[in-house]
């Protein structure tokens, strides 16, 4: 290309030999082809919209995606042999407005005649550590994620509104191990975030279903130890003292 030709022409004056100049031309051509391929394959509608960091542009780009492929457009873009996530790329580049638009779109429930579409499974399958990443790089998006995992009915019955909490991925990972959601939320040191309905619900579930069974036997053992210590120090010690005093008095009378 013109850029490679100009670079080779400028370096021709300093090249020690024609072979070195040809090697430089070959290297620059290879780099140019690689960069061109990356730009061509990675320049999707969503990537171009993310670069603008405008929510409106991101929503318009995602409208072109079918319902079943919506998550793939913003979670997995293949460039050559590598796969990148536009969502994480937006967070790394601090394009938070675009990242928020992606999260809101993925966590919107859609449906057709065959099935429902909800992007929570796709998000946690692609990024199991998304809560930790958001806590470290974009704390404001944690509210967007947690709000999107709660469905609230539009009807109010008896002063109450039905709600569904999609908390599976915040409790258990795909491999069956415990998720680190509670640890991540506590590490944020954000009092308001801990009081979020989803966070409070998860903490209550972990405490009542898991932690209580493990902690209660230890508390009982501790209480038994405290009662035993109290009796030994406050009752038995006094009794031994009185007995000792009685023996000493009896010895004096004798």
pLDDT digits (tens, 9 = 90+) for 211-235: 888 888 888 899 999 888 887 777 6
Q: Which of 2-6, 78-82, 114-118 has the highest mean pLDDT?
A: 114-118
Identify the H or E element spanning 217.
Answer: helix 212-231
Closest CA to 149 of 121, 106, 117, 107: 107
Q: Residue 143: is its pLDDT beyond 80?
A: yes
pLDDT at 252: 43
Residue with tokens 């409790």: 171
Predicted model pTM: 0.71
For 56, the token pair is 């409106």
- Strands (DSSP E) found in the chain: 77-79, 82-84, 110-111, 116-117, 150-157, 160-165
pLDDT at 21: 76
Judge contact between 193 and 143, C-beta under 8 A. yes
CB atoms within 10 A of CB 116: 9
Rounded average pLDDT over 139-152: 92
Local structure of 138: helix, strand or coil: coil
Q: Residue 80: is its pLDDT beyond 90?
A: no
């Amino acid at each position: 290309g013109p850029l490679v030709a100009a670079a080779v022409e400028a370096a021709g004056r300093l090249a020690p030999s024609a072979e070195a100049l040809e090697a430089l031309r070959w290297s620059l051509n290879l780099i140019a082809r690689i960069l061109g391929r990356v730009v061509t394959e990675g320049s999707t509608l969503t990537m171009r919209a993310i670069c603008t960091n405008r929510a409106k542009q991101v929503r318009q780009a995602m409208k072109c995606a079918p319902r079943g492929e919506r998550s793939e457009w913003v979670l997995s873009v293949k460039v050559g042999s590598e796969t990148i996530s536009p969502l994480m790329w937006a967070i790394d580049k601090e394009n938070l407005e675009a990242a928020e638009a992606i999260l809101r779109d993925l966590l919107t429930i859609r449906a057709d005649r065959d099935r429902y579409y909800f992007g929570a499974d796709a998000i946690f399958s692609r990024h199991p550590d998304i809560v930790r990443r958001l806590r470290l790089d974009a704390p404001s998006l944690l509210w967007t994620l947690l709000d999107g995992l709660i469905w609230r009915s539009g009807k109010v019955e008896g002063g109450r509104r039905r709600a569904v909490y999609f908390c599976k991925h915040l409790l258990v990972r795909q491999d069956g191990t415990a998720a680190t959601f509670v640890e991540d939320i506590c590490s944020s040191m954000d009092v308001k975030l801990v009081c979020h309905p989803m966070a409070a619900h998860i903490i209550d579930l972990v405490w009542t279903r898991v932690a209580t069974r493990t902690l209660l036997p230890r508390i009982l053992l501790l209480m038994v130890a405290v009662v035993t210590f109290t009796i030994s120090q406050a009752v038995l010690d006094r009794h031994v003292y009185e007995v000792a005093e009685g023996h000493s008095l009896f010895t004096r009378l004798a």
